[in-house]
A and B are shown apart, each in its own frame.
Chain A
């Protein structure tokens, strides 16, 4: 049985500098997969290339179709969605407009249901729906970015550092919601520096170092791995609030 997303032998370069080398990864249906690793390991680069923002050499098969040549917009239409590190919200537009535009590619009747689903997932957004996106708090902006991505009813949601710069109580909230997505039939590919939180909700994990995967396996095994515990889990225990 083929995976929902399958990346094989991916190389990504900025000019002559290779940032990601020979990376292969799979995400199955209804699966939460996380990529953990230190700052600068190439996690964000990899996600951006899977989305089509950066050029990638290799194969990217999504839902049975090779998408490596497709534009970002066509990947969105195929059911792939990215919540980028910087969220890229429409700051001068209302929360509701942001969400409505998230459903730009899908029919109006389906969008109405998406609204209900997203508001149920993030009641806070419903309260603030008339407010401008730029005036929201960091946590609310992250919720809005995730809500906007979910409005398009994606098959796979890719999240880039959703906990970045947020207070611990809000991080817990966001991670709880990511866990709930599985019930809604959305697969998740999660990139996180907060390895501990990520490993708790994920099914499987990849560990990235200097542009390569050095380990992969079930989230439990990875969390129990001595090297991972020393390099990532220990670090996140002490420096959780550090960015």
Chain B
């Protein structure tokens, strides 16, 4: 019994990270981030490819997206082009992903140490996340939640298709971060599960400090609380959106890197994992961080028990969790009018 709970908490920790990222992105940009699962897949498979000496296609995707983003930046600023603006856009959109691509190509055949593979995977996925916001969501920032959701589904489908092209239909596994293992009473802890707990806790504390103490963290919260108020003090909605997507893609990639040594990941696995984080986020009402984290642990535990006792119905049972929550929420909360900008 206890090992199921342990298993559930390990999974739940990952869902918690993903759920927190979803809440963050929704609060700041009103985007329901369906492609969060693709960040997981990309992070995991980029890491697995790099550590097996292959060149991940995601590095090239980042460059391609950077070029499109650069074009959009130039077009948006066409009426007031000045050198400083163009230079900055060039550095972020062209130089950065090209440098990452060059570094990846140089390191790919040389079996770099695990830490380098992780750092590089995070860099690649983070730049994809940043450009995804610039290309798909920044031009739509003033539209309704529904339009943003449709765009989000489109991004998910496109990125999943690219995933199939880059990584093929076969699953991959990555090397563990730590090989040690020890037994404590009836439970066996592997280095990997300890890494999952450690990194999850570190991320939650890190986010808490970022939002509580730094000016940019506060600016992000301010945008979530009152978008007009934030603009009136000079906080750009696009800046907040970029930071939110950057954080979400890094969190997604970290989650992928943490689970790819435990389970085989396919190009489309991330979606299902992301969806479980989404359930946690929905239970948290897409607003509450602590409620989301707790709900994620519940989702993980339910999943662990149902895959042990009724593995055929594992997903059904997990996703059915959302029904009573939705009913309760719709009964308890008065209808909320959609916010206008």
Interface residues of A (CB under 8 A from B): 51, 53, 69, 71-73, 76-77, 81-82, 84, 88-93, 97, 100-102, 104-105, 148-149, 151-152
**Contact between A101 and B236 (Cβ–Cβ < 8 Å)?**
no
Instruction: Name A111's closest neighbour in chain B (CB-CB).
Output: B215
CA–CA, A151 and B226, complex, Å: 18
Residue of B79, B230, B231 near A69 (CB, 8 A) is B79
Near A by CB (< 8 A), chain B positions 205-231 give: 215, 218-219, 221-222, 225-226, 228-231
Binary CB contact string for chain B from 288 to 332 against chain A (1 if under 8 A, 0 otherwise): 000000000000000000000000000000000000000000000
Residue of A90, A97, A105 near B234 (CB, 8 A) is A105
Question: Shortest distance in angstroms between A8's beta carbon and chain B's nearest beta carbon?
Answer: 21
Instruction: Name A99's closest neighbour in chain B (CB-CB).
Output: B233
Residue of A72, A77, A82, A91 near B226 (CB, 8 A) is A91
Residue of B79, B225, B234, B236 near A92 (CB, 8 A) is B225
Q: Is B235 an interface residue (CB 8 A)?
A: yes
Chain B interface residue count, CB cutoff 8 Å, equals 17
Residue of B79, B222, B231 near A72 (CB, 8 A) is B231
**Contact between A89 and B231 (Cβ–Cβ < 8 Å)?**
no
**Contact between B232 and A104 (Cβ–Cβ < 8 Å)?**
no
**Contact between B221 and A76 (Cβ–Cβ < 8 Å)?**
no
**With A77-B234, A101-B219, A148-B233 given, can you name 11 additional A-B contacts, CB distance below 8 Å?**
A71-B236, A73-B234, A73-B235, A88-B226, A88-B229, A91-B226, A93-B218, A93-B225, A97-B218, A101-B218, A152-B233
CA–CA, A90 and B229, complex, Å: 7
**Contact between A76 and B215 (Cβ–Cβ < 8 Å)?**
no
Enumerate chain A residues within 8 angstroms of B218, measured Cβ to Cβ. 93, 97, 100-101
Enumerate chain A residues within 8 angstroms of B230, measured Cβ to Cβ. 90, 101
**Contact between A89 and B232 (Cβ–Cβ < 8 Å)?**
no
Question: Shortest distance in angstroms between B163's beta carbon and chain A's nearest beta carbon?
Answer: 36
Enumerate chain A residues within 8 angstroms of B233, measured Cβ to Cβ. 76, 101-102, 104-105, 148-149, 151-152
Enumerate chain B residues within 8 angstroms of A76, measured Cβ to Cβ. 231-234
Most chain-A CB neighbours within 10 Å: which of B219, B221, B231? B231
Question: Shortest distance in angstroms between A154's beta carbon and chain B's nearest beta carbon?
Answer: 10
Question: Shortest distance in angstroms between A82's beta carbon and chain B's nearest beta carbon?
Answer: 6
CA–CA, A108 and B49, complex, Å: 44
CA–CA, A105 and B232, complex, Å: 11
**Contact between B228 and A104 (Cβ–Cβ < 8 Å)?**
no
Enumerate chain B residues within 8 angstroms of A82, measured Cβ to Cβ. 232
CA–CA, A73 and B223, complex, Å: 13
Instruction: Name A69's closest neighbour in chain B (CB-CB).
Output: B79
Given the known interface contacts A88-B228, A88-B229, A104-B215, the answer about A93 and B235 at a Cβ–Cβ threshold of 8 Å is no
Given the known interface contacts A101-B218, A104-B219, the answer about A90 and B232 at a Cβ–Cβ threshold of 8 Å is no
Question: Shortest distance in angstroms between A13's beta carbon and chain B's nearest beta carbon?
Answer: 17
Question: Shortest distance in angstroms between A76's beta carbon and chain B's nearest beta carbon?
Answer: 4
Enumerate chain A residues within 8 angstroms of B226, measured Cβ to Cβ. 88-91
Instruction: Name B237's closest neighbour in chain A (CB-CB).
Output: A73
**Contact between B221 and A84 (Cβ–Cβ < 8 Å)?**
no
CA–CA, A72 and B231, complex, Å: 6
**Contact between A90 and B221 (Cβ–Cβ < 8 Å)?**
yes
Binary CB contact string for chain B from 178 to 193 against chain A (1 if under 8 A, 0 otherwise): 0000000000000000
**Contact between A152 and B234 (Cβ–Cβ < 8 Å)?**
yes
Most chain-A CB neighbours within 10 Å: which of B215, B222, B231, B234? B234
CA–CA, A93 and B224, complex, Å: 11
Enumerate chain B residues within 8 angstroms of A97, measured Cβ to Cβ. 218, 222
Nearest 5 pairs of A and B residues by beta carbon:
A88-B229, A76-B234, A105-B234, A72-B231, A90-B225
CA–CA, A104 and B233, complex, Å: 7
Given the known interface contacts A76-B233, A152-B234, the answer about A53 and B221 at a Cβ–Cβ threshold of 8 Å is no
Question: Shortest distance in angstroms between A193's beta carbon and chain B's nearest beta carbon?
Answer: 22
CA–CA, A101 and B219, complex, Å: 7
Instruction: Name B212's closest neighbour in chain A (CB-CB).
Output: A97
